[in-house]
Amino acid sequence: MMWKTKRRGTRAMAALAAAALLTTACGSSGSDTSNSDAESATLVAYTGQSTDYQINFNPYSPSCIGGIGSIFEPLFYNNVLSAKPSTPLLGTEYSWNAEGTQLSITLREGVTWSDGEAFTASDVLFTLDMIGQHQEMNGIGYDGAASAPDDTHVVITFDRPAFVDGPEILGKVVIVPEHVWKDLDDPATDQISEPVGTGPFTLDEFKPQAFTYAANPAYWDGEPAVKKVRFLALSGNQSGQQALKAGQVDWQSAPVPDIKDIEKNYPGYQAVIAPLNQIVLETCANAALGCAGPQTDPAVRRAIYYGINRSQVNALAFESTSSEISPGFGLLQRDTAVISSSLQDRTAPMDPDTDQARQLLEGAGYAKSGDYYAKDGQELALTVTTVTGWADYITAVNTMAQQLKEVGIKLTVEQLSWNEWTAQRQTGQFQLTIDSVQQGSGPDPYYAYSYFFGSDGTAQVGDKAATNWSRYSDPGVDAALAALTRINPEDTAARQPHFDTVQTSIEQAMPYIPVLTQGTVTEYNAAKFTGWPTEDDLYAFPAVWQAPDNAQVLKRLKPAGK
């Protein structure tokens, strides 16, 4: 829920300052002829930032506020919505040896850093060595050894098959300039206020209420048609809606009321809905690792799965912007070719099957006692947590609580602060919670499987799990994931049996109960700029806060009429 993590908090002074900034500085819709040419070519974006910006364009710092993709570029761009090949950026081509132990990369010639220095293989080696030496910067677990036979080629060698590491190294590692970064005291934490990059934009101006990019005239792919991009800090979701209504924001990604009539309610604007993250009820599933409660029984988890009326949840909580989900957690559009034919349900039922839910419970030894089932004298009662202020998720779990009464399951909703919710989920101190399974580094279901279903990502209850918060652990799934690391992703026939194992196993165990595939809603000013992603051409994930995808969008846009 990227939007939700960004929209927390409100500061009155920030709101007043931002309102003044909107009034005096921001361009309105493309029909406002009082704007200068420069201002009409300025795109105003709102990412959900609800407090003042603190300047830091260090792409490897947790407090980085921007620049990934737009100022600092990776070697390639991977669109997680599409199985299409990677888009070349600083790299032009790459290849693996047959064993998957050597990755060879050809770099783009003639690229310069924004300070005029030449980009070479030395910058790539420096960046890879830097993250390898600083664990806190090495979010991808890079453990290769890189060398450069010349200025335009890099070879990375591994002591194991590393095919699945490719998208992370090629698409997630942003390259920094050796001649600037070699003098940093601590590259993991040092603040970067004057970023030097190879990307399509440079930093033009910074203020706590907004920062502005300027088009890079020396960009290797040509100077962008959008000459300036201004990122605002407002006071939250409602302020973003008001700014959108006033034509003072050109790009944001957040729910707005009555989204289906956006062109009527917000003249000049259109919306795109991108299905990506998969909404689930996460369960603390593994009693062997310390999980406690009825949800540790797979029959209970599957009864919940069949008891949900997904059509109603979608309508009431998500304005029907979400879509079907596969219980094998392959994305239905992107992963059609690898969704297992052995699944019991290719897609989760949109309508409830209360008879099936009751049969599962009764087969597991539960008996109806009043309104609810019970076993060993204990009522089948569960608590589901969510974060205070997450209105769509709160509506979703309240709706499901009402639906599950029909099945005989008592579901109580508890709202927590962000910090408390995060701590409970990481340490396994919960029964059910609502969030989403995210897709990871590339357009391949392997990454979601390894993050959320692999034993390496989990821990005993009480200890922090890295990604697998359900505590799910299955030797067969672990073996299938390990096998996938050794197979070239191009060998689809060899991979499919392992995908079959993972998908059928997690459908039966259901540690993450599938709800819907969330539609991320993005609104954009079509009257002012052309070239936006559409549902027919999702050339990048269109959310304004998603990097480096947002840089791909900015490169495609043009002021209307030009």
Question: Contact, 285 vs 551, CB < 8 A?
Answer: no
Amino acid identity, residue 487?
I
Q: What is the mean pLDDT of the chain?
A: 91
Q: What is the pLDDT of residue 28?
A: 30
SS (H, E, C) 243-283: HHHCCCCCEECCCCCCHHHHHHHCCCEEEEEEEEEEEEEEE
Per-residue pLDDT at 27 exceeds 80: no
Per the structure block, which two tokens stand in for 52?
């003042």
| CATH node for 2-67+199-268+526-559 | 3.40.190.10
Domain boundaries defined on the chain = 2-67+199-268+526-559, 76-181, 275-519
* Residues 203-249 pLDDT 10s: 999 999 999 999 999 999 999 999 999 999 987 778 888 999 999 99
HEC profile of 85-150: CCEECCEEEEEECCCCCEEEEEECCCCECCCCCECCHHHHHHHHHHHHHCHHHCCCCCCCEEEEEE
Instruction: Please confirm whether the linkage preceding 445 is cis (ω < 30° from 0).
Output: no
Mean pLDDT along residues 82-104: 95
Angle between helices 391-405 and 310-318 (to 10 degrees): 150
Tens-place pLDDT, residues 335-367: 999 999 999 999 999 999 999 999 999 999 999
The predicted-structure confidence for 357-413, as pLDDT tens digits, reads as follows: 999 999 999 999 899 999 999 999 999 999 988 888 999 999 999 999 999 999 999
- Cβ atoms 142, 128 nearer than 8 A: yes
Residue with tokens 């799990």: 465
> What's residue 530's pLDDT?
97
C-alpha to C-alpha distance for 86 and 76, rounded to whole angstroms: 6
Compute the average pLDDT of residues 65-78: 97
The predicted model scores a pTM of: 0.84
Task: Show the tokens assigned to 479.
Answer: 């073996």
- Which residue type occupies 23? T
Percent of the chain whose predicted confidence (pLDDT) is above 90 = 84
Which tens digit of pLDDT belongs to each residue from 236-295?
Answer: 778 888 999 999 999 999 888 888 899 999 999 999 999 989 999 999 999 999 999 999
CATH superfamily, domain at 275-519: Dipeptide-binding Protein; Domain 3 (3.10.105.10)
Taking alpha carbons only, the member of 477, 465, 516 closest to residue 280 is 516
- Strand pairing category for 410-416 and 153-157: unpaired
Residue type, 357: A
Q: What is the CATH number that goes with domain 76-181? A: 3.90.76.10
DSSP 384-412: EEEETT-HHHHHHHHHHHHHHHTTT-EEE
CA-CA distance, 408 to 429, in Å (whole number)? 24
